[in-house]
Structure 1
Amino acid sequence: MYEGNFPHQRYQKTLEFLRENTPAPSNILDLGVRNPFVEFMEKEGYTVSNTSGEDLDFNTEAVQKEGIQIVTAFEIFEHLVAPFNVLRDIKADKLVASIPLKLWFSPAYRSKTDPWDRHYHEFEDWQFDWLLEKAGWEIKARNKWTHPVKKIGLRPLLRLFTPRYYIVYAERIKNS
């Protein structure tokens, strides 16, 4: 069990959720290029490979590989125009995915410097649940948490009480 310092609260919450619902050792395909969180999963005992930066709206071959036990997608689906296609094409039987929730007091995220770092979707929890169900997944566990920021103002105050992240563990519905 990794007990080090986490650079983000969401890393700790995500690793706890992953540990509770899909204990190591497991073979994981993490959607997106290798990122700092992969190291935390590997220290926990997971074997992790990543997709290679391909546009998953057009090319879902990476999620169709055999031998993957779990697909993880941490803050990925909000960047896709068509997350249904990826979710439908995943061959693994288990999925752990997190998304930032839509906040009524804040517009969708759009980087001012990176044209690819944008949120096409920011879901409410029920919308993400429905998307997963339509793509052939059954949610077995879920959690939400806030994302406080160290700033002064109305929005930072609201972030203390309003959940920002939503994570689910889902299993493939047989015959879907």
Structure 2
Amino acid sequence: MYEKTFPNKRFKHTIQFLEKHVPKTETILDLGVVNPFTDIMVKHGYSVVNTKGEDLDFDTSNITKSDATVVTAFEIFEHLLSPFTVLQSIKADKLVASVPLRLWFSSAYRSKSDMFDRHYHEFEDWQFDWLLEKAGWKIIDRQKWTNPTKKMGIRPMLRWFTPRYYIVYAERV
């Protein structure tokens, strides 16, 4: 399953964190199109519906119409110009969200060939916390992990010690 797929460490940490906080009886709205992690959630017994690929900066209708009890957003908010608007539009009382952290030794991710695969934000943990709090969420639990690579050099070495991903479980205030 996820143990043999890329990116296995991120998927492993994410599903363990989700299982810690979200019972299988909950229904999940996963922000973003169906993806490999959607399949992992389903294989672990979750009922998951995804948004349809609409630009969430302009169209939050699938979020506001959803009756899901939990919203998940795994590496989505960095792609939005206004994640605050999306966070406010969520009707569910529970949120599990992860973001890549800003790395001081590496510039923000920018795809030169795909206009949709860009990071408008790379958060520091405290910035993401403030965003969630301002949008009406209380963080119950959080976790960070590194993303080491097998490449050689100073930056790849720093990735062994510097957290790259940040995940939170939050509830609506």
User: What TM-score does the superposition give when structure 1 sets the normalisation length?
Assistant: 0.94
C-alpha RMSD of matched pairs (Å): 1.2
Alpha-carbon distance between aligned partners in 1 of 2:110 and 2:78, rounded to the nearest angstrom: 11
Write out aligned runs for 1:59-70 (5 A).
59-70=59-70
Match of 1:106 in 2: 106
Alpha-carbon distance between aligned partners in 2 of 1:66 and 1:49, rounded to the nearest angstrom: 9
Q: 1:66 to 1:3 in 2, by over 3 A?
A: closer
Match of 1:77 in 2: 77
Q: Could you tell which deviates more after superposition, 139-148 or 63-72?
A: 63-72
Secondary structure, aligned partner of 1:19? helix
Alpha-carbon distance between aligned partners in 2 of 1:136 and 1:3, rounded to the nearest angstrom: 33
Q: Contact 1:6–1:12 (CA<8 Å) still a contact in 2?
A: no
Alpha-carbon distance between aligned partners in 2 of 1:66 and 1:172, rounded to the nearest angstrom: 16
Alpha-carbon distance between aligned partners in 2 of 1:50 and 1:116, rounded to the nearest angstrom: 18
Spell out, residue by residue over 1:116-153, the C-alpha distance to the aligned partner (whole angstroms, 9 max, x if none). Answer: 11100000000000000000000000000000011000
User: What TM-score does the superposition give when structure 2 sets the normalisation length?
Assistant: 0.96
Alpha-carbon distance between aligned partners in 1 of 2:164 and 2:2, rounded to the nearest angstrom: 24
Alpha-carbon distance between aligned partners in 1 of 2:154 and 2:23, rounded to the nearest angstrom: 39
Q: Contact 2:29–2:66 (CA<8 Å) still a contact in 1?
A: no
Write out aligned runs for 1:88-107 (5 A).
88-107=88-107
Spell out, residue by residue over 1:74-129, the C-alpha distance to the aligned partner (whole angstroms, 9 max, x if none). Answer: 00000000000000010000000000000000000001221211100000000000
Q: How far is 1:5 from its partner? A: 3.5
Q: How far is 1:25 from its partner? A: 2.6
Match of 2:126 in 1: 126
Q: 1:105 to 1:4 in 2, by over 3 A?
A: closer
Query: Is 1:47 equivalent to 2:47 in the alignment?
Result: yes
> Identity of counterpart residues, as a percentage?
64
Unaligned 5+ residue runs, structure 2? none
Alpha-carbon distance between aligned partners in 1 of 2:164 and 2:6, rounded to the nearest angstrom: 17
Alpha-carbon distance between aligned partners in 1 of 2:147 and 2:3, rounded to the nearest angstrom: 20
Secondary structure, aligned partner of 2:19? helix
Match of 1:7 in 2: 6
Q: Contact 1:69–1:93 (CA<8 Å) still a contact in 2?
A: yes
